[in-house]
Structure 1
Amino acid sequence: MKNTSKTSPKVLISGGGTGGHIYPAIAIADEIKRRLPDAQILFVGAEGRMEMEKVPKVGYPIKGLPISGFDRSDMKANLKFPFKLIKSLNLAKKIYKEFQPDLAVGTGGYASGPMLWIAGKNNVPYLLQEQNSFPGVTNKILKNKAAAICTAYEGITQFPQEKVHYTGNPIRGEIFQNLPSKAEAITVFGLDPEKPTILSVGGSQGSRAMNNAWLENLDEFVASGVQLIWQTGKLDYQKIKNLVGDKYPTIHVTEFIYNMKDAYAASDAIVSRAGAMAISELCIIGKPTILIPLPTAAEDHQTKNAEALVTQNAAILVKDAEAKQKLVKEVIALANNEDLKNKLALNIKQLGKPNATKEIVDILLNLL
């Protein structure tokens, strides 16, 4: 047995493919380093995916594996999958031998599969962090050898219940700590602090369905007297910016929002996709929310995430296919219904887990 130091453990963190897997991993790493500055942390991701760029940017080393996911739309592409898997497992063995980890963490996505599998084979205790209400394939494969599984939703029956800890998702603390007042925040967007304001966020790429729903009903929306902070994403930004221009002073169009703290503080209600990390932030912010799940998300997990809130009267769900007809009507109705706004805000806030990162790291370090 290795002589493990409790003040300077070696921790392997693996996961990626999307921001929903990467940002929780970084939040966990930051909390480990905050408590144990001498801890050594190594990330393992998938070559060519966003973690290979995002992780070094925040100061952690990362190694890439040639693994890729199973492509349901192109069966031919999957012929290479077995070879990539074998190559990734061999490389994971090499990384394990060189780094000799004391603990491992998997935050989901196919990137975490080979590395966590090798860690388990070598009796390294590992923790899985599942962001969604319906577990991904990789975490379902890795569940049996996991020492602990931290979930963001209660009642996930696909995992061995004796290993499950309902912690919530790890969120970057700076997003929800010391929020400015609406009056302060709204000046950033050049809008009127007296008017009801909606924040619409379609993810980093933007959401065409959401953008089209706003475009289709723009005049009806503007006539209602409600303001809009509209994050369009890259694809439609220029078209929307040209169209809105100075014609609609109650609409602020932006490709990407870097300071989510101001955006959350400036808004009275929020329209969002239903990714796990977005929902976790929304629960902590505690504003009335309309969710439009992305229907093409793996195993339709965004719909399941949204439904988990709807059953607790903590959000309104509008289907992607019905957004053009329903979104703006739902938004206007919500903006003018104080009782409904208060009820949704109260219920979503109760689902917030602001101490998730701390709890997950407590559980992880107890495995030493």
Structure 2
Amino acid sequence: MKVLIAGGGTGGHLFPGIAIAETFMARDPENQVRFISTRRAIDQEVLAVRGFSSQTIEAEGIKGRGIAGQVKALFKLPGALKQSCRILREFRPQLVIGVGGYVSGPVVLAGRLKGIPTAIQEQNSIPGLTNRILALLVDRIYYSFEKSREYFPARKSLWTGNPVRQELKRVREEPSTPQASLTVLVLGGSQGSHRLNQLVTEALDFLKELKKDLSFIHQTGTKDEDWVRQAYLEKGFQHQVRAFISDMVWAYARADMLICRSGATTLAEVTALGKASLLIPFPFAANNHQEENARSLVEQGAAEMISEKELTGAGLAAVIRKWRNDSRYRTDLAARAKTLGRWQAAEDIVENCTQLVRKGRWN
């Protein structure tokens, strides 16, 4: 089977697509999967490392931009649709899947116009603009949070959870080595978070007595990597600072707790792996979906959440100190998180897509 997967721009869109692609290839090595993603270097590098071919189209996002930016993006749509049709004509896929982001819109629409079975996968609790529109056109909709069902037609929708990369299963196989210190993993998303970087480094000033008891693994994003590393050095804390952590198996295996944004893919990984997490939603996410994502864990006692505007360096230090001193609380949070994990999400999506291609479209 030939499968075309469209999406990217953030790891939150790209990694679920990779999980789906890996499952198609694991099911049958004769399958062929191609991506249409953004021109971001990280997108291209992540796909290349995993051996997936990719192409790009000239498309831009519409939501959250000024009038001039929106007009520019709209004028690019016809060209993006034409490019998508050309790629479909050359690759001849039997299935087109959109995993979110502005790139997926023209590609999935082109697939629909050409009569190819189409599907979308929605990661967040509140669907983005692209998937809300595409939901009216596609044959299948796979969503990650149960509360998202209200946004989609029931007859062609399926709750699967958010696909998790198969490589992360190796976290459970990593040898457990006793650590004297508490290891804190800081994730601000694939592009990092400047405000999270500031808060964590400010918190260090209030944790001086715990220098020997704390260790940090910190994904900063490219712009902040140097000064964050320097802050850890000057304040005397154990640290591993990376602009982008490519080996998440290594990072997750060592983490005792996470301080992170609440993008859907991060939460899928946190729950699948059973990790205690302090969630700090990105306050400018479309439709405030990160707060809604986080709330789904908090309501079940599987994580803590603090809004960015309410958090200070001192407040963050107090949470880290509390969690360091109360291992039972961390363990309970992690156990509750693990009950929400859905390792089988990618397999369920691939099985359903296979049925779609074999039996024909619902619409």
Q: What TM-score do you get using the length of structure 1 for normalisation?
A: 0.87
How far, CA to CA, are the matches of 2:223 and 2:40 in structure 1?
21
Name the aligned partner's letter for residue 107 of structure 2.
M
Counterpart of 2:177 (choices 177, 183, 189) is 183
Quick one: percent identity of the two aligned structures? 34
Aligned residue in 2 for 1:102: 94
Aligned residue in 2 for 1:55: 47
How far, CA to CA, are the matches of 1:80 and 1:206 in structure 2?
27
Aligned residue in 1 for 2:281: 293
Matched, 1:218 2:211: no
Aligned residue in 2 for 1:152: 144
Cα RMSD (Å): 2.3
Aligned residue in 2 for 1:349: 338
Name the aligned partner's letter for residue 367 of structure 1.
L
Matched, 1:231 2:218: yes
After TM superposition, the structure 1 stretch with the greater mean CA deviation from structure 2, 307-316 or 340-349, is: 340-349
Could you say if the C-alpha distance between residues 16 and 219 of structure 1 is closer, same or farther in structure 2, counting changes exceeding 3 Å? closer
Secondary structure in 1 matching 2:52: coil
Deviations 1:308-334 (A, max 9, x none): 111111110011122324222122122
Could you say if the C-alpha distance between residues 363 and 206 of structure 1 is closer, same or farther in structure 2, counting changes exceeding 3 Å? same
How far, CA to CA, are the matches of 2:60 and 2:317 in structure 1?
39
Matches within 5 A, 1:268-287: 268-287=256-275
Counterpart of 1:170 (choices 138, 163, 177) is 163
Secondary structure in 2 matching 1:367: helix
Could you say if the C-alpha distance between residues 196 and 59 of structure 1 is closer, same or farther in structure 2, counting changes exceeding 3 Å? closer
Counterpart of 1:116 (choices 92, 99, 108) is 108
Counterpart of 1:25 (choices 11, 14, 17) is 17
Could you say if the C-alpha distance between residues 282 and 103 of structure 1 is closer, same or farther in structure 2, counting changes exceeding 3 Å? same
Counterpart of 1:243 (choices 231, 239, 242) is 231
Q: Which runs of 4+ in 1 moved over 6 A?
A: none
Does the CA-based 8 Å contact 2:57-2:84 persist in structure 1? Answer: yes
How far, CA to CA, are the matches of 1:241 and 1:259 in structure 2?
19
CA shift for structure 1 position 352: 0.5
Secondary structure in 1 matching 2:37: strand
How far, CA to CA, are the matches of 2:344 and 2:245 in structure 1?
25
CA shift for structure 1 position 106: 1.0
Name the aligned partner's letter for residue 57 of structure 2.
L
Secondary structure in 2 matching 1:354: coil
Counterpart of 1:41 (choices 19, 23, 33) is 33
How far, CA to CA, are the matches of 1:158 and 1:363 in structure 2?
20
Matched, 1:302 2:290: yes
Does the CA-based 8 Å contact 1:71-1:78 persist in structure 2? Answer: yes
Name the aligned partner's letter for residue 118 of structure 2.
Y
Could you say if the C-alpha distance between residues 257 and 44 of structure 1 is closer, same or farther in structure 2, counting changes exceeding 3 Å? closer
Matched, 1:254 2:241: yes
Secondary structure in 2 matching 1:229: strand
How far, CA to CA, are the matches of 1:81 and 1:259 in structure 2?
34
Aligned residue in 2 for 1:84: 76
Deviations 1:202-235 (A, max 9, x none): 2333322222222223132232464131415133
Does the CA-based 8 Å contact 2:275-2:334 persist in structure 1? Answer: yes
How far, CA to CA, are the matches of 1:180 and 1:59 in structure 2?
24
Name the aligned partner's letter for residue 299 of structure 2.
T
Does the CA-based 8 Å contact 1:120-1:145 persist in structure 2? Answer: yes
Deviations 1:219-265 (A, max 9, x none): 322324641314151333322333332752x4214124333223222
Name the aligned partner's letter for residue 167 of structure 2.
E
Could you say if the C-alpha distance between residues 148 and 49 of structure 1 is closer, same or farther in structure 2, counting changes exceeding 3 Å? farther
How far, CA to CA, are the matches of 2:129 and 2:18 in structure 1?
21
How far, CA to CA, are the matches of 1:199 and 1:63 in structure 2?
33
Secondary structure in 2 matching 1:68: coil
After TM superposition, the structure 1 stretch with the greater mean CA deviation from structure 2, 138-147 or 198-207, is: 198-207
Does the CA-based 8 Å contact 1:13-1:43 persist in structure 2? Answer: yes
Q: What TM-score do you get using the length of structure 2 for normalisation?
A: 0.88
Counterpart of 2:195 (choices 203, 209, 227) is 209
Aligned residue in 2 for 1:263: 251
Aligned residue in 2 for 1:314: 302
How far, CA to CA, are the matches of 1:287 and 1:238 in structure 2?
28
Counterpart of 1:134 (choices 99, 102, 126) is 126
| Aligned length in residues | 351
How far, CA to CA, are the matches of 1:241 and 1:183 in structure 2?
25
Does the CA-based 8 Å contact 1:201-1:232 persist in structure 2? Answer: yes
Secondary structure in 1 matching 2:284: coil
Does the CA-based 8 Å contact 1:231-1:254 persist in structure 2? Answer: yes
Could you say if the C-alpha distance between residues 319 and 222 of structure 1 is closer, same or farther in structure 2, counting changes exceeding 3 Å? same
Does the CA-based 8 Å contact 1:205-1:235 persist in structure 2? Answer: no
How far, CA to CA, are the matches of 1:176 and 1:222 in structure 2?
35
